[in-house]
Amino acid sequence: MTVRERAGLAGARRVVVKVGSSSISGENAHKIQPIVEALAAAHARGTEVVLVSSGAIATGMPYLLLDERPVDLATQQAAAAVGQNVLIYRYQDALRPFAIVTGQVLLTAGDLENPTHRSNARRAMERLLGLRILPIVNENDTVATHEIRFGDNDRLAALVAQLIGADALVLLSDIECLYTRPPGEPGARPIDRVEFGDDLHGFEFGSVVVNSVGTGGAATKVSAARLAATAGVGVLVTSADLVEEALRGAEIGTWFAPNPAAPVPAGTAPVHTSSTI
C-alpha cells in the first residue's frame, strides 16, 4: 500500500532508505550507528527495510592513502572495491546487537534496464526481505563507467523503490528539507510539500555537487523524487540526522506526494530510468 502522507511511514509495509557518502564516511562514520538504530526500530515494527547506501569509494580512500576523491576511473574502482567490503562490515557490526542480518546487493542502472537482470534482482531482493534480511544496495562501482563519474545513488534508490514496490522512499541529505533556492541565499524558503505534477521550474536547486567524498546535491534528489513519485511511491527528503523521526512519520522534511493515478502497483511496473525536474 502506497504511503500517501508522511505519517504513513510509521506503519509502512516496505520502505527504501537512501544515505549518501558524506553522511557516513570520514568524520561522519560514527553516524552509521544512529542510522542503523532507526532502521532496526522500523524493522522491529514489522517494516521491510531496504538501505541504499553510497560510500564505497569514500570508505576505501584512507586505505589507498588518498586525501581526496580520485578523478580517474581505475582508482575510483579500486577504492570502491576496498571500501565496499569495509562499509558492509560496519553496517553488519552495527546491526549485530539487533540480531539483523544484512545482504549485499550491487547493481548498476543498466541492470534495472535489462529485463532479465531486473527480474533476477527483484526475485533476489524479495527473497531476502521474505527471510527478514536487510538488503544493502549500492552501485556496483567496480564495473560502472558513466554512473560512477556522474551518477548518484538517489536515482538508484528511486529505481529500487519502483522495482520492489516500496510503499515509500526516504532520501537522506545533509539538510532538513529542500529549499526554493540554495539555503544560504537570501529569500530561500523551505519546501514542505510537493504535490504530484507541481511545476518546480521556478526553483533553483543547483547542479550536481562533487565534493571530496561523493557526488550529489538537491537537484539529484528532486529528480529522483519525481521519478519515484511518478511510479506511485511517496518520497520524503530530509536530514540523515532525522532518520528516526522520518521513519516514525514526523512532520519533517520535504514530502513528494505520489502519483494518485499510477496505473499499476509500483513493484510490477516497467522501470523507467529517466526523469526531469
Whole-number Cα distances in Å, 199 to 55, 193, 220, 222, 249: 32, 12, 16, 12, 26
Sequence-distant (≥ 6) Cβ neighbours of residue 138 within 8 angstroms: 52, 53, 54, 55, 56, 84, 87, 104, 105, 106, 107, 153
Q: Where do runs of H (alpha helix) occur along the chain?
A: 21-24, 32-44, 56-60, 73-95, 109-113, 115-130, 146-150, 153-163, 218-230, 243-247
The DSSP annotation for 159-204 comes to HHHHHTT-SEEEEEESSSS-BSS-TTSTT--B--EE-TT---TTS-
Sequence-distant (≥ 6) Cβ neighbours of residue 100 within 8 angstroms: 40, 43, 132, 133, 134
CA distance 17 to 37: 13
Residues annotated in the binding site, as ranges?
Answer: 18, 54, 141, 153, 173-174
Sequence-distant (≥ 6) Cβ neighbours of residue 103 within 8 angstroms: 128, 133, 134, 135, 136
Residues annotated in the binding site for substrate, as ranges?
Answer: 54, 141, 153
Residues annotated in the binding site for ATP, as ranges?
Answer: 18, 173-174
